[in-house]
Amino acid sequence: GTDELQKQLLNRVGQCVLTSPGSACFAGLQGSAELKLGSALRYFGDGWQISKKIGDRHFWRIPVMDGEFLCEA
C-alpha cells in the first residue's frame, strides 16, 4: 500500500538521488494520497536544512557536498 511505497521511495531517493550531484526531487503528479518524502529526507541536513515556501508549495533545502538538494515536502 501507500506505507510501503513511501518507505521504498524514501530509501531509494535517500541512497541514490540525494547523493547524486545537482539532483532535486519534485512532486510531478497530484493524487488522492500524499507521500511526505521531504519531511523525512530533511533529517539528512543534520539541522542545517532550510524550509522554504514558494506560493502554495513547501520545499526543503538540504545541504550536501556539492551545494544543496531541493525536495518538495
CA 36 to chain CA centroid, nearest Å? 8
pLDDT at 52: 94
CATH 2.60.120.480: does it fit domain 2-72?
no
pLDDT at 65: 86
pLDDT at 51: 95
pLDDT in single tens digits along all 73 residues of the chain:
788 988 998 999 989 988 888 888 877 777 777 787 888 888 889 999 999 999 998 899 999 888 888 888 8
Torsion of CA 22, 28, 32, 34, to 10 degrees: 10
Q: 68 phi and psi, to 5 degrees?
A: -150, 155
pTM, entire model: 0.74
| Domain extent listing, the chain | 2-72
